[in-house]
A and B are shown apart, each in its own frame.
Chain A
Amino acid sequence: MTTDIALDGGCRRLALRTAVMAAVLAFAGPLMAPSALAEVVYHRGNTGEPETLDQHKTSTTYEGHILRDLYEGLVVYDAAANVVPGVAESWTVSDDGTVYTFNLRSDAKWSNGDPVTAEDFVYSFQRIMTPETGAKYANILYPIRGAEAANTGDAGVDAMGVRAVDATTLEITLESPTPYFIELLTHQTGLPVHKGSIDEHGAEFVRPGNLVSNGAYALAESVPNSHIKMVKNANFHDAANVQIDTVFFYPTEDRGAALRRFQAGELHSNNDAPTEQIATIKEQLGDQFRVAPFLGTYYYAVKADKEKLADVRVRQALSMAIDRQFLAEEIWADTMVAGYSFVPPGIGNYGEPAYADYKDMSMIDREDKAIALLAEAGYSPDNPLTIEIRYNTSENHKNTALAIADMWKPLGVTVELLNTDVSTHYAHLRDKGDFDVARAGWIGDYSDPQNFLFMVESDNDGFNYANYNNPDYDALMDAAAAETDLQKRAEILFQAETIFMRDLPFIPILYYGSMSMVSDKLIGWEDNIQNVHATRWMRIEG
């Protein structure tokens, strides 16, 4: 096809342009002082427009990428997404697992030169819990003692379990042992804010010129829907090892446009790609296109308390008949992985998830069994089951729903499709509107199975779209929350997931993969399950 030829040419041209640039640089190099040549600029595509640069108001991963470059928390992710010391050099945990004592590094500084102190963190944790802040993700830090009460206004923020022992010692007390607490602190909600600039500028402290940060970069420009520009922070304690001088973040909501900008050499990386065109992308970008496993599950919520779906056998039959391999390979072009458990594999504090028992059965056997199950539940060609699949408008959600409808056809299930815009879709689910099966997805906030399994606890109003109510399940989740031994806790959670996979309030379909386009010139972008890539670990060559 014509565009294919055009693109081939495009790649060659890109190479040509690079060669010309290299030649020019080689020629000009000796004439210029090394410092004049040195400004290394990183053009980074970021899937969404940040709603805010106030770490306490944020909720999205694309804000996380920006904030991770601006700020440094107590702990940080390294290039491979291992948790490593950040502002905290070391920490100790009390025997009962509820008191964390952090020793902060003495050379941590804000971009204006002020030292970063334990008091800054106390202020930050208090600020995020203050109801007037309007923090969207305050609940992530609810494990801190008194945090929830403070956030709901039942108690003051002073009563929270956060204390500065001295300038470099911070003590955090939790409500109950939380094995993933250190992991939680890597989230952008745990990043410190500079009290002085908030006192001076109020909500406008996030503006360029006002914003004082303690990370590898400082904010230079922020234009909504255009770009965010950051420059290297000379006061950062590890500034000597930060190799990129300037970073531009561009919101790339249109995936196709991001691909073209990448191909035109205008972006060094983009953390998403147009799924419809993966085959071509793989062909043309080669190693520059990366897919890594990701901590997320793509699932269909089933209204479990609805008459026609209340029978577990019906839900099992529906799940069994889905050819996940086909969806992953053909619809999602291997950017997703067939999912047979709700908790994705590779998660922390857990072993292998509780897979469905039909994971290794052949599709034909599964289909036969599904038909038998439906028959037992009273459905047959004479009394067919009709299911409506609701999804939010998107090319691939549509294709997935269509493929699943086709897979359910042999069971005698008639499927109708209904799409709406995202807001309407989720408002409908959350307001407990009527539906049969609805598409949804969940990306873990932190690497722990609890962050997945809590969704269908019977008292979870916001997330339990299925209206699932199983006292045994709730009891197991409570038991897991009280358990401090990680091994035992993992076993209890595994039991809970086993029940989940039997009852199927949500039918897990695929595990998310993270897609990235990364230029050959960008060195140090390591694929990892958290899909976090702080600029300070990278450099640009050529």
Chain B
Amino acid sequence: MYSYVFRRVFSALPTLFVVITISFFLMRVAPGGPFNLERPLEAKVMENLMRIYNLDKPLWEQYAIYLYNLFQGDLGPSYFFRDFSVAELIAQGLPISVQLGGLALLLALTIGCGLGVIGAIKQNQPADFGVIALATIGITIPNFVVAPVLTLFLAVHFDILPAGGWGDGALANKVLPVLTLALPQVAVIARLTRGSMIEALHSHHIRTARAYGLPGRVVVVRHALRSALLPVVSYMGPAAAALLTGSVVVETIFGIPGIGRYFVQGALNRDYTLVMGTVIVIAVFVVLFNLIVDLLYSLLDPRVRYD
């Protein structure tokens, strides 16, 4: 086990390297540059800027400079937020995104699994249809609709929650963003849990156990849930990584200073270094969570082994 974890952690380095290399060149092939926004700059001014940020050098040289700096822990300056370095921006935004994403994750897992189990036990009964309805709506109504609708009702109409802003992390400011983030995940988790739970309840060993009438209902459910969680866990690896690294829509609509928006906005602004910074963060989270998922597999299902 330990050697497996060690190997996986070690193999993360080449993965990161490949991600960084592909991303670097991918971004540079796209048209436009960090200083090519709506209002064109005077040619001479542009020259100055390109020189200051080494953007006038050949691409491979820029790549070498980037890697060299990266090895020293320097993610470079942001081209858009010119008063800050990428490391500062991430250090400031990541904790916020992780907080919101983490809360949403917990909420989604508890409610999602709960609903899924209820749906499976009460298959084709009213409670089950309620679960299906909620899950369907949660998936089809995108967050850019959920967020404004929730705000209109809870903040503008009933005036019980703030409509936006981070408010230095006040609980009230987190409610709507967390709900918006959690809703689609609740839906997916509920659907996946319900489906595999039904399957598990039908499986031979559970049926046999039931037939003998030995274990109680709760034990049955717990037993079935264990194998039913497998697809949920598979799904949650990348989904958790995505949740914890923030959402551009939720952060923009609620005015939250997380890192989620850097990924898309940075790309639209051609803020190469900032996008690269977020790519690295995302890659680390993806690798980490997929490792956790793989370890959870053998916990949920002792038959799964890595040799």
Contacts and interface: CB of A to CB of B under 8 A. Distances in A.
A and B touch in the complex (CB under 8 A): yes
Interface of A: 3, 6-7, 9-10, 13-14, 17, 49, 51-54, 57, 59, 131-139, 148, 151-152, 203-204, 206-207, 222-227, 250-254, 256-257, 260-261, 263-264, 266, 392, 421-424, 426-428, 430-431, 441, 461-463
B37 A7 contact: no
Given A9-B157, A134-B48, A424 B255 contact: no
Interface in B42-97: 42-45, 47-49, 51-53, 80-84, 89, 92-93
A264 B159 contact: yes
6 contacts: A135-B45, A207-B83, A254-B253, A257-B255, A260-B152, A264-B156
Given A6-B156, A422-B37, A462 B163 contact: no
A431 to B, nearest CB: 7
A52 B155 contact: no
Contacts of A462: 40-43
A206 B83 contact: yes
Given A17-B159, A263-B156, A225 B268 contact: no
Given A203-B83, A261-B164, A423 B155 contact: no
A51 B165 CA distance: 19
A497 B53 CA distance: 39
Nearest to B164: A261
Given A134-B49, A136-B45, A252-B255, A10 B164 contact: no
A88 B106 CA distance: 60
B31 A431 contact: yes
A266 B270 CA distance: 32
Nearest to A252: B255
A424 B31 contact: yes
B156 A10 contact: yes
B165 A6 contact: no
Contacts of B81: 49, 51-52, 224
Given A131-B51, A261-B163, A461 B43 contact: yes
Nearest to A428: B31
A329 B45 CA distance: 39
Given A6-B153, A427-B31, A257 B38 contact: no
A225 B261 contact: yes
A426 B38 CA distance: 6
A251 B255 contact: yes
Contact of B257 (A3, A7, A57, A223): A223
B52 to A, nearest CB: 4
B36 A225 contact: no
Interface string B140-173: 0000000111011101111100111110000000
Contacts of B227: none
A257 B253 contact: yes
Most chain B beta-carbon neighbours within 10 Å: one of A6, A59, A134, A428: A134
Q: How large is the interface on B (under 10, 10 to 19, 20 to 34, 35 or more residues)?
A: 35 or more
A7 B84 contact: no
Contacts of B30: 423-424
B204 interface: no
A51 B255 contact: no
B80 A51 contact: yes
10 nearest interchain CB pairs? A423-B32, A427-B32, A226-B257, A462-B40, A264-B163, A225-B257, A139-B42, A52-B82, A10-B156, A427-B31
A235 B40 CA distance: 38
Contact of A266 (B32, B158, B165, B251): B165
Most chain B beta-carbon neighbours within 10 Å: one of A14, A49, A252, A392: A49
Contact of B270 (A6, A139, A423): A423
B254 interface: yes
A203 B51 CA distance: 17
Nearest to A465: B40
Contacts of B163: 257, 260-261, 263-264, 266
A227 B82 CA distance: 16
A225 B82 contact: no
Contacts of B147: 257
A131 B48 contact: yes
B156 A260 contact: yes
B252 interface: yes
B151 A224 contact: no
B23 interface: no
B35 interface: yes
B39 interface: yes
Interface string B119-159: 00000000000000000000000000001110111011111
A264 B52 CA distance: 44
Nearest to B254: A257
B269 interface: yes
Contacts of B47: 152
Interface string B260-283: 010000001110000000000000
Contact of A260 (B31, B42, B53, B164): B164
A426 B83 contact: no
Contact of B36 (A252, A427, A441): A427
A260 B157 CA distance: 10
A49 B82 CA distance: 11
B256 interface: yes
A129 to B, nearest CB: 10
B114 interface: no
Contacts of B92: 223-224
Interface string B20-31: 000000000011
